[in-house]
């Protein structure tokens, strides 16, 4: 859940006084987002451009999101994240736009945490993914990739393949408590995936979202109305972002691959940015790697979180059927997309 | 935290199709409220009266709260709660107004839970209570009491003094694990409070909120802009509601009584509804009882909640200094307000 830090009345008042967004009229903690504390902030509306709704002083006011960045986010990365969001927003992507205070700075401090106000996006994230969502989300991902091309600053992917052996090592002692044999299976999968991983420069790179799960994509009337939560974004292989989405959107609740959703997602993506031959051929190993990445970070959290801690641990085993599928579909010889239907 | 039950897209769409509140434009789970699942629901605005903001189709739309009632609320009580909220709203209190669907019913079913849409209220609940909050909240409580006088349906207080011996019995085995000697201290306090409790008919009764903690009171520009969370409301001694507020608003974070806040709260209350002599004289025992009620229900939750459960348990011991204060201030002879400053 998503209010780890609460904000005192006086601190909030002082914080908002730095902005030209009008007077506070409502303030509610929101339950979504796992890493940070988020609040919906309503004001009477101000002079800041880009606010949702009728920001120019309409009676119903303007809504914003106030985010306090908690310990999972490295404060040194925040200028890059906020810069990317502003850039993508300026280039036509519907994503949260950081709102600058009067002094020009969007990244500030509140309640001892780095904090920023961003615009509120309309829409509802899909609780039950269907094939109909997959085309629009693929297209939105491609638009994100194209829009990000002019954002030059590089942020390496701290959770890329180079990090996976170390993550697995730190789960080696306790990993089998989650499922017997798990560590050996992940060792074998890593030994298959890492040598097959695309060489630097082999595939187009750029700014990727790297966490485009359904709860980060808002829909309105069947179209994508917003993409949120850029706090895993980084500079990496664009097709890896597609592979992350394949895992996040194209498996059913029982962990079974849904080829129709996959085809729809890729077709949606290619309606905006066609994949090259090399990208398409690499999708199986990228998808296996994407499954490995989420399995490992969830496993790390699982074995390193005290059982009584008041946090939601996501089940690492959700990602085991995905990993197995990508390995089996490639018949032990990644890459190779025989049964993927890619 | 407050999203126990999530809502599928189709179920939400079907649910909203029964209402004349416009088309859904945003839907966010909110982190406040402990007992139920709550969402902020934004629509394009509709024809239903009483909606917040410019409900008649303004561009910025209307906000509502969607509540799914979880297991702590007895579904049989919901018509009484919603009826009270509608009645109080009709009689000038700023509280959530249940929104009826086209068929006239406000209480419906969603995701297998009883569910209702209510209007969204402006304001921010005070994270740090000061004396300045106490006058307005006292006055708001008195307005609630007066407005409720015409609502005739009775709901007995299931957590009234009659329930306390049983609650304490169910904590008898494990209560001292929270603090050694706690059970014996509560036994002694109960033996003092129960015989001193006002006889039926001795004090004015009516509809009371019974849970008016700071997170249930929104302020805007120093005034109370809304009172929420009526799901402990019941028919009981009006001055007992004042006593609950004295405990909730007039002790500091270290559990020390703040006489200035108490005087402000009572003066605020009396600016709308003067207390009778008998009510004033009963405040010490009512306040001791109010401390006992919250201590006991928190203790019950504490000893009956598995340590690993993903729920927030409130510390029962927060209420022990309050209970001790009220007993000591009355010098072991409740009622009697010598050191309370009432």
Domain stop point among B119, B145, B167? B119
Residues B213, B290 within the same domain: yes
pLDDT at A145 over 70: yes
| Stretch (H or E) spanning B329 | helix B320-329
For residue B215, the domain's CATH number is: 3.90.1200.10
pLDDT tens sequence across B59-85? 357 899 999 998 888 999 999 999 999
pLDDT tens sequence across A154-179? 999 999 999 999 999 999 999 999 99
Question: Would the CB atoms of B25 and A1 count as touching at under 8 Å?
Answer: no
Angle at B273 between CA B269 and CA B274, to 5 degrees: 90
pLDDT at A335 over 80: no
Quick one: average pLDDT of B240-249? 97
Task: State whether residue A279 is helix, strand or coil.
Answer: helix
Mean pLDDT of chain A: 89
Question: Would the CB atoms of A29 and B29 count as touching at under 8 Å?
Answer: no
CA separation, residue B306 to residues A218, B136, B209, B311, B312 (Å): 36, 39, 29, 9, 11
B12 touches chain A (CB under 8 A): yes
pLDDT tens sequence across A53-91? 333 333 357 899 999 998 888 999 999 999 999 999 999
Mean pLDDT of chain B: 89
* Shortest Cα–Cα distance, A134 to chain B (Å): 15
CA separation, residue B149 to residues A35, B84, B93, B232 (Å): 47, 11, 13, 17
B126 touches chain A (CB under 8 A): yes
User: What pLDDT sits at residue A341?
Assistant: 60
Nearest alpha-carbon partner for B57 in B46, B68, B66, B48 = B46
B contacts of A7 (beta carbons < 8 Å): 127
Structure tokens at A159: 């959770």
Domain stop point among A119, A144, A170? A119
DSSP A95-140: SPPBPP-TTS---EEETTEEEEEEE---BB--SS--HHHHHHHHHH
- pLDDT grade, residue A337 (50/70/90)? very low
Question: Would the CB atoms of A31 and B27 count as touching at under 8 Å?
Answer: no
Domain stop point among B119, B154, B183? B119
A253 touches chain B (CB under 8 A): no
Cα B170 from Cα B163, distance rounded (Å): 11
User: What pLDDT sits at residue A3?
Assistant: 64
Quick one: average pLDDT of B252-276? 95
pLDDT at B174 over 80: yes
Residues B101, B156 within the same domain: no
User: What pLDDT sits at residue B342?
Assistant: 63
Quick one: average pLDDT of A249-272? 95
pLDDT tens sequence across A206-251? 999 999 999 999 999 999 999 999 999 999 999 999 999 999 999 9
Question: Would the CB atoms of A2 and B61 count as touching at under 8 Å?
Answer: no
User: What pLDDT sits at residue B263?
Assistant: 95
Q: Which residues contact B305 (CB under 8 A, 6 or more apart)?
A: B311, B313
Residues B100, B167 within the same domain: no
A298-301 long-range CB contacts below 8 Å, 24 or more apart?
A299/A167, A299/A171, A299/A175, A299/A178, A299/A182, A300/A167, A300/A170, A300/A171
Cα B276 from Cα B282, distance rounded (Å): 10
Task: Give every strand in the sheet of B37-43, ordered side by side.
Answer: B24-29, B37-43, B62-68, B113-119, B108-110
Residue B342 inside a domain? The answer is no
Of A9, A128, A312, which has the smallest distance from its Cβ to B124's Cβ? A9
Question: Would the CB atoms of B10 and A128 count as touching at under 8 Å?
Answer: yes
Quick one: average pLDDT of A298-313? 74
Cα B61 from Cα A110, distance rounded (Å): 30
A contacts of B126 (beta carbons < 8 Å): 9
Which chain B residue's Cα is nearest to A133?
A: B9
* Shortest Cα–Cα distance, B161 to chain A (Å): 33
- Number of domains chain B contains: 2
Of A53, A127, A218, which has the smallest distance from its Cβ to B6's Cβ? A127
User: What pLDDT sits at residue B70?
Assistant: 87
Quick one: average pLDDT of A267-283? 96
pLDDT at B129 over 80: yes
Residues B30, B171 within the same domain: no
Cα B272 from Cα A8, distance rounded (Å): 29
For residue B45, the domain's CATH number is: 3.30.200.20
List the alpha helices (DSSP H) in A231-309. Answer: 238-249, 259-270, 277-304
Question: Would the CB atoms of A1 and B59 count as touching at under 8 Å?
Answer: no
Residue A218 inside a domain? The answer is yes
Quick one: average pLDDT of B211-232? 96
Residue B200 inside a domain? The answer is yes
User: What pLDDT sits at residue A33?
Assistant: 66
Residues B18, B64 within the same domain: yes
Contact pairs from chain A to chain B, CB under 8 Å: 102
Structure tokens at B125: 């609940």
CB-based burial label for A255 (10 Å; 0-12, 13-18, 19+): middle
- B262, B246 contact by CB (below 8 A): yes
A contacts of B3 (beta carbons < 8 Å): 1, 31
Question: Would the CB atoms of A25 and B123 count as touching at under 8 Å?
Answer: yes
Segment among A158-172, B45-59, B229-243, B245-259 with least mean pLDDT: B45-59
pLDDT at B308 over 80: no
Residue A220 inside a domain? The answer is yes
Structure tokens at A38: 């988020």
A contacts of B60 (beta carbons < 8 Å): 53-54, 58, 60-62
Residues A145, A291 within the same domain: yes
Residues A70, A150 within the same domain: no
pLDDT at B101 over 80: yes
- pLDDT grade, residue A196 (50/70/90)? very high
Nearest alpha-carbon partner for A60 in B54, B161, B214, B180 = B54
pLDDT at B134 over 50: yes
Longest alpha-carbon distance in chain A = 62
pLDDT at B206 over 50: yes
B contacts of A28 (beta carbons < 8 Å): 30-32, 40
A contacts of B124 (beta carbons < 8 Å): 9, 12, 24, 26-27
- A49, A103 contact by CB (below 8 A): no
Residue A341 inside a domain? The answer is no
pLDDT tens sequence across A88-140? 999 999 999 999 999 999 999 999 999 999 999 999 999 999 999 999 999 99
Residue B126 inside a domain? The answer is no
| Stretch (H or E) spanning B41 | strand B37-43
- pLDDT grade, residue B31 (50/70/90)? confident
pLDDT at A327 over 60: yes
Residues A214, A77 within the same domain: no
Residues A151, A111 within the same domain: no
Task: Using DSSP bridges, classify how beta strands B217-220 and B223-227 pair: parallel, antiparallel or unpaired.
Answer: antiparallel
Residue A314 inside a domain? The answer is yes
Residues A193, A265 within the same domain: yes
User: What pLDDT sits at residue A308?
Assistant: 54
Structure tokens at A19: 């902005």
Residues B111, B213 within the same domain: no
A280 touches chain B (CB under 8 A): no
Of A31, A42, A53, which has the smallest distance from its Cβ to B30's Cβ? A31
pLDDT at B186 over 90: yes
- pLDDT grade, residue B34 (50/70/90)? low
Segment among A49-53, B18-22, B145-149, B311-315 with least mean pLDDT: A49-53
CB-based burial label for A321 (10 Å; 0-12, 13-18, 19+): middle
pLDDT tens sequence across A4-14? 677 888 899 99
Cα B64 from Cα B58, distance rounded (Å): 15
Residues A144, A196 within the same domain: yes
Residue B176 inside a domain? The answer is yes
Which chain A residue's Cα is nearest to B216?
A: A28
The residue segments making up the domain with residue A105 are: 9-119
């Amino acid at each position: 859940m998503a209010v780890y830090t609460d904000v005192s009345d006086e601190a909030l008042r002082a914080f908002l006084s730095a902005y030209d967004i009008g007077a506070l009229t409502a303030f509610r903690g929101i339950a979504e987002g796992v890493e940070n504390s988020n609040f919906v902030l309503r004001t009477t509306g101000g002079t800041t451009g880009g606010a949702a709704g009728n920001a120019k002083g309409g009676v119903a006011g303007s809504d914003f999101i106030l985010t306090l960045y908690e310990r999972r986010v490295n404060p040194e990365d925040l200028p890059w994240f906020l810069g990317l969001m502003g850039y993508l927003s300026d280039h036509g992507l519907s994503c949260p736009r950081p709102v600058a205070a009067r002094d020009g700075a969007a990244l500030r401090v509140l309640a001892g945490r780095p904090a920023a106000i961003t615009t509120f996006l309309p829409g509802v994230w899909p609780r039950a993914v269907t094939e109909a969502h997959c085309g629009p989300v693929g297209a939105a991902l491609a638009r994100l990739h194209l829009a990000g091309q002019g954002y030059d600053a590089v942020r390496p992917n701290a959770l890329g393949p180079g990090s996976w052996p170390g993550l697995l090592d730190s789960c080696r002692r306790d990993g089998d408590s989650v499922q017997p044999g798990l560590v050996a299976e992940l060792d074998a999968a890593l030994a298959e995936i890492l040598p097959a991983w695309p060489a630097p420069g082999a595939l187009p790179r750029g700014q990727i979202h790297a966490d485009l799960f359904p709860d980060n994509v808002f829909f309105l009337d069947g179209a994508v109305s917003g993409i949120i939560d850029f706090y895993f974004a980084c500079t990496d292989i664009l097709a890896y972002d597609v592979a992350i989405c394949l895992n996040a959107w194209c498996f059913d609740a029982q962990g079974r691959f849904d080829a129709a959703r996959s085809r729809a997602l890729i077709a949606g993506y290619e309606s905006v940015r066609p994949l090259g031959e090399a990208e398409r051929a690499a999708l199986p190993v990228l998808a296996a790697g994407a499954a490995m990445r989420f399995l490992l970070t969830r496993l790390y959290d699982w074995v390193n979180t005290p059982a009584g801690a008041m946090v939601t641990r996501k089940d690492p085993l959700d990602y085991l059927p995905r990993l197995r599928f990508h390995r089996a579909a490639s018949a032990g010889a990644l890459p190779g997309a025989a049964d993927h239907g890619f």
